[in-house]
Amino acid sequence: MTATICGTGSYIPSYTMDNNDIARLVETSDEWIRERTGVIRRHIIRDETTVSMAAEAAKRALEDAGVSPEELDLILVSTISSNVILPCAACEVQERLGAPRATCFDLSAACTGFILAYNTAFAYLNSGFGKTALIIGSESLSNLTNWKDRRTCILFGDGAGAAVLRAEEGTVYLPVTHSDGRKGEALTCKSRHDYNGLSDGHCRERPQDTPDEEYYMQMDGQAVFKFAVKSVPEVINEALELNHVSSGEISYYILHQANRRIIEAVARRLGEPMEKFPVNLQEYGNTSSASIPILLDEMNREGKLRKGQKLVLAGFGAGLTWGASIIEWHRCRTNEIK
């Protein structure tokens, strides 16, 4: 038994900030940002929340799959930027969808989150736990961004993507994932509360002298770049070798959209053409766990995916965490060439 994607959806905030807008906040320029990252603009929430975007992306994925909310056995939301702590974002999505049968919980694995959500849903469905799962990556990174820090504010955007999975007979491709907490300082964001503080169970504010910058995402860009360009090709090759699949069988490598230079470096190290590495970060920036499902949904709705194609999904990010999964595409849209 395997987990087949049978529908995708996404939600993107309408409000945008282009590189010229960023240049009014910090010392930078459109040319500088494009050259170093590939980002041209990013979409930013106004009235939306992480939960509202997740729910809308989920509705679109369910519609695309022809699946009703009542059929869902599992809902997973991958996010580091939820607007709610309790109840979890997945339960909030469940309530908005009207999916009473589903077991719901959140995952926090940053930019690798959608890969781990897919793997978790795959394990649940393969074990017979259920037949239908909904996985969502949704992020409001603008709430965690220090808009005075040029190293990070040029990179991130908001959005949500979702996929519906069905348990079906088919080839099982085993995923490969890794974590290295020893290198976690490369990308951090501290909580505004200390939950290990008072014995009576109440939260307490962190000390007043803690710098505000620690409450925003902080990144060692050079360290992350070196980690990504080495680890991502390695984990993709691990997944290919583990499943006895050759690179020639892969139609597309759908990578986390962090930086165009990283994607180009991964393509070179794999010896694969850039045509196999779709890129949309110029429009959205880095949306963390939402980036892979947003890209997957775009490709699905544009009719770029064909039945039987093998795809590699690969994510990397804070933790440090990284992983790759191979999927075989079965969803055929009405505008797809058979």
Average pLDDT over residues 57-77: 98
Residue with more model confidence, 330 or 37: 37
Residue with more model confidence, 200 or 220: 220
Share the mean pLDDT of the chain.
92
Whether residue 204 is predicted with pLDDT greater than 90 in this model: the reply is no
How sure is the predictor about 337, in pLDDT bands with cuts at 50, 70 and 90? very low
Average pLDDT over residues 201-212: 51
Helices 221-242 and 260-270: crossing angle in degrees, nearest 10, is 40
Return contacts of 83-91, CB within 8 angstroms, 24+ apart. 83/49, 83/50, 83/51, 83/140, 83/143, 84/50, 84/51, 89/50, 89/51, 89/54, 89/138, 90/136
How high is the pLDDT of residue 213? 66
| Predicted structure pTM score | 0.93
Give catalytic status of residue 256 as yes or no: yes
How high is the pLDDT of residue 192? 65
Average pLDDT over residues 211-221: 79
Catalytic residue among 19, 259, 286, 300: 286
Q: How far is CA 195 from CA 55, 156, 190, 198, 201, in A?
A: 28, 27, 12, 8, 8
Query: Considering the domain 176-184+215-328, what is its CATH architecture?
Result: 3-Layer(aba) Sandwich (3.40)
Percent of the chain with pLDDT over 70: 91
3-state secondary structure of 26: coil
Catalytic residue among 104, 111, 153, 189: 111
Q: How far is CA 118 from CA 16, 43, 122, 146, in A?
A: 29, 25, 6, 30
Taking the CA atoms of residue 247, residue 248, residue 254 and residue 255 in that order, the dihedral angle to the nearest 10 degrees is 30
Q: Is 211 left (phi over 0), alpha (psi -120 to 50) or beta?
A: beta
* Per-domain residue ranges of the chain: 2-168, 176-184+215-328
How high is the pLDDT of residue 217? 87
State how far the Cα of 177 lies from the Cα of 301, in Å rounded to an integer: 28
Element (H, E) at 240: helix 221-242
Average pLDDT over residues 273-300: 98
How high is the pLDDT of residue 201? 46
Average pLDDT over residues 58-82: 97
State how far the Cα of 271 lies from the Cα of 321, in Å rounded to an integer: 24
pLDDT tens-digit profile of 120-176?
A: 999 999 999 999 999 999 999 999 999 999 999 999 999 999 999 999 988 999 999
Q: How far is CA 22 from CA 16, 33, 82, 155, 174, in A?
A: 11, 9, 24, 10, 41
pLDDT tens-digit profile of 92-118?
A: 999 999 999 999 999 999 999 999 999
Whether residue 251 is predicted with pLDDT greater than 70 in this model: the reply is yes
Return contacts of 197-200, CB within 8 angstroms, 24+ apart. none
176-184+215-328 shares the fold of 2-168 = yes
Catalytic residue among 104, 256, 259, 300: 256
Class of the CATH-defined domain 2-168: alpha beta
3-state secondary structure of 293: helix
How high is the pLDDT of residue 189? 86
Q: Is the dihedral of CA 302, 304, 307, 312 positive or negative?
A: negative
Residue 105 backbone phi and psi in degrees, to 5: -160, 165
pLDDT tens-digit profile of 287-312?
A: 999 999 999 999 999 999 999 999 99
3-state helix, strand, coil split of the chain in percent (to 5) is 40, 25, 35
Average pLDDT over residues 315-321: 95
Residue 19 backbone phi and psi in degrees, to 5: -65, -30
Cβ pair 316, 112 in contact under 8 A = yes
